[in-house]
Amino acid sequence: MKKRILTGDRPTGRLHLGHYVGSLKQREELQREYETFILIADVQALTTHFENPDLINDSIYQVTIDNLSVGLDPERVTFIQQSMVPAIHVLATFYSMFVTVNQLSHNPTIKTEAKNYGYREMSYGFLGYPVSQAADITFCYADLVPVGDDQVPHIELARKIVRKFNEMYGTSIKEPDYKLSNVSRLIGLDGASKMGKSLGNAIYLSDSPDEVWNKVRNGVTDTNRVSVKIPGNPDICSIYKYQVAFNKEGCEEIKEECKNAKIGCVQCKKILNEKINALLDPMREKRAYYETHKDAVRDIISSGTERANEIGNENLRGIEDKMHLVLK
């Protein structure tokens, strides 16, 4: 029996190259070794975007298509719409007794996010999303969660909750493990911060060749290099970081040429542009199919969600029984 992994995406917009480098690429590889569940976390999306339900609705499709376009195989992978799995939400409520408000407000990821979104007052739903995430992972007996470092506090919290819960009720809910992705985060083309949907510095998997070129063309390089004749410093160039990520074979040579003023920024950007488009072209092809077959995408989500409900309802029934909630 293959082990099961569960991973999640918030449908608050399309996925970009940062997501690809940080998780989708590994996810595509892992699907062969593990039974793969992908949760489209629309309830978690509501915690920050509840005022924009249409964006969430559209993004459920887009994020699913992003995953399919990267090569996640709908025959093999279970796609799940979080809001449509009641067991997750019941379990999250049960779990919420096993975590203190203090614990949640000191969660480092919650703190950073609260700062980024500029919240003056955090909602109860937002503060509690790590509890709901613990339910996302455990409702289906997931063994492993592939994560970036920002998600580690959430997995650790999930483990703590599960341990206490099992001790209290004699349940045997599986304590999840995480598999840390060891790739460094892709910075934005502005060179200023990580690539982010909300930061306007991202190349989307769904971008056209023209859009990609416009973004690459405007990417920030070594700002001291005002002329091709001056040697550049790849260490402080955002485009060079992309060469490392998307042009493994060629990046060393470019580094030398840049340092010796043998290649200009425009030429360097053209090379990068080609590499990125070569990566995106096969994705564009798959996307084009799904964009015109939205019914197929909806069926993939609904059949996966149905399967998740079968697993989740059975699991929940066992837990409720152990909690002495079932009247005899």
207's tokens = 């971008």
Question: Which of residues 99 and 254 has its CB atom nearest to ligand TRP in the complex?
Answer: 99
Question: Which of residues 41 and 60 has its CB atom nearest to ligand TRP in the complex?
Answer: 41
Residues 150-189 that bind ligand TRP (CB under 6 A): 151
| 251 near ligand TRP (CB under 6 A) | no
- Select from 36, 44, 78, 138 the one that contacts ligand TRP (CB under 6 A): 44
| 15 near ligand TRP (CB under 6 A) | no
Shortest Cβ distance from residue 44 to ligand TRP (Å)? 5
Report angle CA 149, 236, 16 to the nearest 5 degrees.
45
Sheet order of strands, 35-40 included: 78-81, 35-40, 4-9, 144-147, 177-180
SS3 244: helix
Shortest Cβ distance from residue 172 to ligand TRP (Å)? 20
| 133 near ligand TRP (CB under 6 A) | yes
> Of 271, 209, 203, 283, whose CA–CA distance to 240 is shortest?
271
Are 309 and 91 in contact by the 8 Å Cβ rule? The answer is: no
Question: Which of residues 151 and 309 has its CB atom nearest to ligand TRP in the complex?
Answer: 151
187's tokens = 């910075």
| 114 near ligand TRP (CB under 6 A) | no
Question: Which of residues 39 and 319 has its CB atom nearest to ligand TRP in the complex?
Answer: 39
Are 142 and 78 in contact by the 8 Å Cβ rule? The answer is: no
> How many whole angstroms separate alpha carbon 91 and alpha carbon 81?
16
**Number of residues in contact with ligand TRP under rule CB under 6 A:** 12
Shortest Cβ distance from residue 76 to ligand TRP (Å)? 19
Shortest Cβ distance from residue 323 to ligand TRP (Å)? 23
Report angle CA 67, 112, 198 to the nearest 5 degrees.
50
Residues that bind ligand TRP (CB under 6 A): 6-8, 10, 39, 41, 44, 133, 136-137, 145, 151
